């Protein structure tokens, strides 16, 4: 009987120790950085994937309906290809940067909460944390620009869609449908000497009912939403890294004071 009670006590102590170890490990998880990483990966994936396909669909629409001479939109084609290569670079960079920030979040959270004795604040560690704070602020400002830029094609496609909706309304029956046009040359997408440069009447209605227009329009909306999600993720990163850096700097001052 004594042996059995001792075994039960040992088992309860082991369970208690395992439970405390799990709680300690969960306490070291940087939940803010984890949420920001998931949101960042999702936003960048939506922006890059949808933006890439939408750009291809836009070029197809322009080539088939607005600029049938290749030399008129050659520069636009080169710009679109360059933007698609930039999208590849953005996706690769943020995949690595998100993993690095998540790892840095695990390190700084453990150092801030002093969960492990081997995690101590050092000058090098504080400098790296400060560097990530600076880079994240710069990237946040840059992505605000990307978010604003991604809203431009949404605005252009919305104008075209609203024009097509106006053609199908009852007010359009009072006027000539062929007089309702969309001229993309006024947006600076193609030069003024591009032929035909605009679409009117049944041609415009055909464009709005095409799969390329429908797909590109909604993909641009999703890409814009992905850019917005990335901005929110970077804001969360900024708050988390700034807080951790400030606490680490404060703790380093406390360590200096306790040495003397």
Show pLDDT as tens, one digit a residue, over the chain (260 residues).
444 554 555 555 555 556 565 555 555 566 778 888 899 999 999 999 999 999 999 888 888 888 888 777 788 888 888 988 999 898 889 889 888 888 877 776 665 555 444 445 566 667 777 788 888 899 999 999 999 999 999 998 998 888 888 777 755 555 666 777 888 888 888 888 877 878 887 888 888 888 888 899 999 999 999 999 999 999 988 888 887 777 767 666 655 445 54
Query: Three-state SS for 196?
Result: strand
Q: pTM for the full model?
A: 0.79
CA-CA distance, 236 to 5, in Å (whole number)? 51
CA-CA distance, 165 to 212, in Å (whole number)? 17
Decide if 226 contacts 43 (C-beta within 8 A). Answer: yes
Orientation angle between helical segments 123-168 and 31-61, nearest 10 degrees? 40
Per the listing, tokens 């995690």 go with: 119
pLDDT of the residue at 188: 81
Q: Identify the burial level of 15 via C-beta atoms within 10 angstroms of its C-beta, where 0-12 means exposed, 13-18 middle and 19 or more buried.
A: exposed
- Name the CA radius of gyration of the chain, rounded: 28
In 3D, which of 77, 78, 86 has the Cα closest to residue 58?
Answer: 77
Per the listing, tokens 């400098």 go with: 127
Kindly list the distances between the CA atom of residue 163 and the CA atoms of 138, 179, 194, 201, in Å, as whole numbers in the listed order. 39, 11, 21, 10
Decide if 227 contacts 47 (C-beta within 8 A). Answer: yes
pLDDT of the residue at 197: 79
pLDDT of the residue at 34: 83
Orientation angle between helical segments 123-168 and 211-259, nearest 10 degrees? 160
In this structure, what token pair is assigned to residue 94? 């943020």
Helix ranges restricted to H, the chain = 2-27, 31-61, 74-113, 123-168, 201-208, 211-259
Task: Concatenate the DSSP letters of all residues of 213-227 into one string.
Answer: HHHHHHHHHHHHHHH
């Amino acid at each position: 009987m004594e042996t059995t009670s001792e075994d039960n006590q040992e088992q309860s102590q082991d369970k208690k120790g395992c439970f405390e170890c799990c709680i300690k490990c969960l306490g070291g998880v940087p939940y803010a950085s984890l949420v920001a990483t998931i949101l960042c990966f999702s936003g960048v994936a939506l922006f890059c994937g949808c933006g890439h396909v939408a750009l291809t669909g836009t070029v197809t629409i322009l080539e088939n309906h607005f600029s049938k001479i290749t030399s008129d939109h050659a520069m636009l084609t080169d710009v679109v290809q360059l933007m698609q290569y930039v999208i590849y670079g953005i996706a690769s960079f943020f995949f690595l940067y998100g993993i690095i920030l998540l790892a840095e979040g695990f390190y700084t959270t453990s150092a801030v909460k002093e969960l492990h004795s081997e995690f101590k604040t050092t000058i090098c560690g504080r400098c790296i944390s400060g560097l990530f704070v600076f880079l994240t602020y710069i990237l946040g400002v840059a992505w605000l620009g990307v978010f604003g830029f991604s809203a431009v094609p949404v605005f252009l496609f919305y104008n075209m869609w609203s024009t097509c909706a106006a053609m199908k309304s009852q007010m359009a029956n009072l006027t000539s449908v062929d007089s309702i046009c969309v001229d993309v040359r006024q947006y600076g997408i193609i030069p003024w000497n591009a032929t035909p440069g605009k679409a009117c009447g049944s041609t415009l209605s055909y464009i709005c009912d095409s799969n390329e227009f429908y797909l590109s329009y909604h993909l641009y909306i999703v890409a814009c939403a992905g850019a917005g999600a990335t901005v929110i993720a970077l804001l969360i990163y900024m708050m988390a890294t700034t807080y951790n850096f400030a606490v680490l700097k404060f703790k380093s001052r406390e360590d200096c004071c306790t040495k003397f």
